[in-house]
A and B are shown apart, each in its own frame.
Chain A
């Protein structure tokens, strides 16, 4: 496939697919320490993973609904904030996904070379 000829929307969709799984892993890893939505977004952006807010915040809720994250409301600087932290199930899953990710990255890296 010639990348230069790829339609922008198709490339965007495929890129989104590629990032989607990585996003869950990144969130689970970063939430080993408690964060609220906006601080997590900035933290990930500072590390080079810029995530759309409209994608990240619903994702946090879904992961919580799946029992992978825990959350609680707290008032800080006069503002209510919902803090998230990875739970035991989320931590276990993060380790498994990280191992899977390393393996996959190695294979793809070798294929690209």
Chain B
């Protein structure tokens, strides 16, 4: 019966591909049998009306498929959605501020003129494409975390009350902070590797605009080091999220990454110019370097001072 074929196919469309063919075949067989039984009971041959009754009783295809699917059928579930919404609300004004600052710098450095309406519309278009790119990266990161947390809960050990942390817990993580860090790392890595031309300032000359790339060719020599740092930082954040808290090993790894970060900043600082406005960027780099060094010292101090392992730590580490 054609309606049953269409119904089984429609259910299959909402299922993972590895289940699809098998479930569709089984549904076709079962629904056909159900239809024949119904036709016998009604004392007439199976027709479209009876077939419609059978599939109507079986349920809406999307609902039926959700009963078959063993894994969540959403990208970002209700647990992470509020954090996702907050992250998007933060991202858009931050991007707008960054674009605005770059525009102001460009106008001053290159003696630009007030832009025309047409140019402003074009600038708004490129801002929207930047927002879309970042939205894509952010959605990908949240979806990745959703899957990682789902797998951890599905296959993890039974919950132990001894793992309950104290009220004032220095190792508690901010899920939002960790996920946001993952997004920033992914966005930076993608941008510097695949779209380096986006790191630029746009200068308006009345009816025209000119793009001045910020990166000098020498920047590429630091890319392998930066990629290694981004990969390690991404992995560490994922591990911390999966574990649900800071552990001693991840604290040491974080300290190591901070040192690595300081070394990269130092190499860029003492090396040949890698940015167009080298003097300005070097002032910023200098501050980043000082901040990174202080942060590494504080992390090391905390690691050395906090030697005791609380009972709940031992239980959590099992």
Interface residues of A (CB under 8 A from B): 36-38, 52-55, 57-59, 61-62, 65, 73, 79-82
Contacts and interface: CB of A to CB of B under 8 A. Distances in A.
A38 B30 contact: yes
B29 interface: yes
A53 B32 CA distance: 13
Contacts of B70: 62, 65
B64 interface: yes
B155 to A, nearest CB: 13
Given A53-B58, A57-B27, A61-B23, A79 B33 contact: yes
Interface in B114-137: none
B64 A79 contact: no
4 smallest A-B Cβ distances: which pairs? A58-B67, A54-B59, A58-B68, A54-B58
A38 to B, nearest CB: 5
27 contacts: A36-B30, A38-B33, A38-B34, A38-B37, A52-B57, A52-B59, A53-B58, A54-B57, A54-B59, A54-B63, A55-B67, A57-B27, A57-B30, A58-B64, A58-B67, A58-B68, A59-B67, A62-B67, A62-B68, A62-B70, A79-B29, A79-B32, A79-B33, A80-B25, A81-B29, A82-B26, A82-B29
A65 B57 CA distance: 25
The bracket for how many chain B residues form the interface is 10 to 19
A37 B68 contact: no
Nearest to B65: A58
A53 B67 contact: no
Nearest to B60: A54
Contacts of A37: 26, 30
Given A61-B23, A80-B25, A54 B67 contact: yes
Contacts of A61: 19, 23, 68
Nearest to B59: A54
Contacts of B23: 61
A99 B63 CA distance: 33
B15 to A, nearest CB: 10
A54 B26 CA distance: 12
Contacts of A62: 67-68, 70
A65 B18 CA distance: 13
A62 to B, nearest CB: 7
A49 B140 CA distance: 45
